[in-house]
Amino acid sequence: MQKTEIMVIGGGLAGMAVAYGLARLGRQVSVLDEGDTALRAARSNFGLLWVQGKGYGMPAYARWTLQSVALWPQLARLLLDDTGIEVHLRQPGGFQLCLSDAEMAEESRRLCWLKDALDGDYPFELLDPAALRKRLPGVGPQVVGACYSPLDGHVNPLKLLRALHAACQTRGVTLLNGRRVSGIAQRGEGFEIASGDQRWHSERLVLAAGLGNRELGALLGQPVPVQPSRGQILVTERLEPFLHYPTSTVRQTDEGTVQLGDSAESVGFDDGTSSAVMADIAGRAVRCFPRLANVRLVRAWGALRVLSPDGAPIYQALPGAPGASLLSCHSGVTLAAAHALRLAPWIAGEQALPEISPFDLQRFTTPAEVRHAS
Amino acid sequence: MPADSLFRQLPTDAGLLSIEFDGQTLQVPAGVSLAAALLASGVRRSRSTPVNGSPRAPYCMMGVCFECLVEVDGVPNCQACLLPVAPGLRVRSQHGARSLSPASALEEHHDDA
Ligand SMILES: Cc1cc2nc3c(=O)[nH]c(=O)nc-3n(C[C@H](O)[C@H](O)[C@H](O)COP(=O)(O)OP(=O)(O)OC[C@H]3O[C@@H](n4cnc5c(N)ncnc54)[C@H](O)[C@@H]3O)c2cc1C
Ligand code: FES
């Protein structure tokens, strides 16, 4: 049996960000990852560092997101220093383009709520069509307005994942691919982890397996309430740069392709595509930017988000399994910096992190009034 | 490291037709893909990549690698391996990413709305 101090299960964005943060603290870390047939949001996401609207109804999530985007330049620099990989972080602010007055009213209502909830410390602008066209030339006539947040940004998500892998290797993390964990047992002061006939022993354990956390949690008697939500994404041929800001549904990547997306469907574990949804996504993109009408699409895929009942992350030290932490999240790109630089020290037991207590599992079982009273 | 082309044209009785490539007229075999026609004519560079500008030519010949991008009759980024060659095609090398037409009248007219 092989031994490791901390075992991270799941080599997606959540697991790798935490593994990197732990390795930077000098911890001895191994990562077990299922491999190519697994559901892997880390390899199929939209690449936004998105702030605006996040945490509506849950100010702690808005603050945590703000903390992460503020830490992102530091993460990008650390990864560049460790690996030479430029993840193409850009934080010029981002636009949410609205195609109807109702959409515009709803988006502004949410942003105003958030600004109140954060005591005014939440910059955004509401733009009418004329103001928007000055900032973002090429926007179509059907766009009735937009919300702009100076805090939004984007990154190349595949380069991010690659950089995290390379940085972990540089810092001595053992990465084991093609290892689907099928057994976890508490043994003495630690855990015995099984994949096929192989066994590992670790003092601490991090469950970061995306949707796989449902099964892993069950092995430790801990239900994990995450559900798949399918998003479909279309990618165009490479174009000369024309869009210098990310928008929530259309963004041009550093290498010229344009990603179109932001659908959400509940279709269980089906990660395929459907022509109706792809047509919707493409139609919306063309209404936003009519110049895209004749552009060729070269790829499309479906992928499953890891969604908790309130959409916010779950961070939980498992009460029944001392030494085990659970990490499940949507928006793992946006949160990668907070995971590497804040959550990892908390998991290592080096730092208290009171701001994450609202993200525990209890929030799904305890009525809100009781929680506030206590 | 230049190497001889491994591409050989099998004997065919389909005849020849002419197309234009970067301003030159080429006599190419009929009944093949545009990519095969270019390779058979000795074309060794049909695009430069948008990422680092390096020279490329058709490679997989089955629609997967996108190395065969060319401009055909004014339409940029066409996969030459997926197009049958036809008489009179006007083909140009694809240099870098395709440009988008400037904001069209459709986008501008809203200014006075
Ligand atoms: C369509 C779409 C668009 C998105 N867009 C954005 C965006 O713009 N911005 C943003 O911030 N976030 C975005 N996300 C979310 C982001 O991709 C996820 O939050 C992030 O990838 C979650 O990371 P994860 O590591 O928890 O899960 P994953 O990336 O899914 O990784 C889980 C890993 O666990 C492994 N695993 C599973 N079960 C086991 C097991 N039993 N044993 C061993 N390994 C196991 C899998 O192999 C996998 O590699 C998007 C997601 C989707 C689906
Ligand atoms: S040669 Fe590969 S796509 Fe055409």
Instruction: Indicate whether A284 and A321 sit together in one domain.
Output: no
pLDDT at B5: 73
Please state the ipTM of this predicted complex: 0.76
pLDDT at A374: 40
> A118, A150, A182 — which closes off a domain?
A150
Instruction: Indicate whether A220 and A317 sit together in one domain.
Output: yes
The CATH number covering residue A340 comes to 3.50.50.60
Q: Which of A352, A360, A329 is nearest to A65 (CA)?
A: A329
Taking each helix axis as running N to C, give the angle between helix A157-170 and helix A13-24, from 0 to 180 degrees, rounded to the nearest 10: 30
pLDDT at B102: 59
- Residue A53 pLDDT greater than 70, yes or no: yes
Chain A contacts of B70, Cβ < 8 Å?
Answer: none
The arithmetic mean of pLDDT across residues B32-58, rounded, is 93
* Position A36 confidence tier, pLDDT thresholds 50, 70, 90: confident
- Residue A64 within a domain: no
CB–CB contacts below 8 A, A to B: 51
Beta strands A29-32 and A2-9: pairing type?
parallel
Q: Is A51 exposed, middle or buried (0-12, 13-18, 19+ CB in 10 A)?
A: buried
pLDDT at A38: 85
Instruction: Indicate whether A170 and A236 sit together in one domain.
Output: no
- Residue A82 within a domain: no
Restricting to A residues 126-145, those with a Cβ less than 8 Å away from any Cβ of B are 129-130, 133, 137-141
> A307, A331, A358 — which closes off a domain?
A307
Tens digits of residue pLDDT in A251-290: 999 999 999 998 999 999 999 999 999 999 999 999 999 9
DSSP category for residue A243: -
- Residue A293 within a domain: yes
Instruction: Indicate whether A208 and A330 sit together in one domain.
Output: yes
pLDDT at A369: 52
pLDDT at B106: 44
Cα B8 from Cα B98, distance rounded (Å): 31
- Residue A66 within a domain: no
The boundaries of the domain holding residue A243 are: 227-307
Tens digits of residue pLDDT in A95-106: 999 999 999 999
Sign, CA dihedral B12-B18-B20-B26, equals positive
Which of the following CATH numbers is that of domain B16-112: 3.40.50.2300, 3.30.70.260, 3.30.420.40, 3.10.20.440? 3.10.20.440
Instruction: Indicate whether A124 and A265 sit together in one domain.
Output: no
Instruction: Indicate whether A265 and A316 sit together in one domain.
Output: no
The arithmetic mean of pLDDT across residues B49-66, rounded, is 93
Question: What is the domain count for chain A?
Answer: 3
Instruction: Indicate whether A134 and A164 sit together in one domain.
Output: no
Ligand nearest to the CA of B62: 2
* Position A331 confidence tier, pLDDT thresholds 50, 70, 90: very high
- Which residue is closest to A130 within chain B, CA to CA? B111
A291 Cα to the center of ligand 2, angstroms: 26
* Position B3 confidence tier, pLDDT thresholds 50, 70, 90: low
**What pTM, to 2 d.p., does this model score?**
0.91
HSE of A64 in the Cβ direction (CA atoms, 13 Å)?
Answer: 28
Tens digits of residue pLDDT in B98-113: 888 755 444 444 433 3
Question: What average pLDDT does the structure give for chain A?
Answer: 95
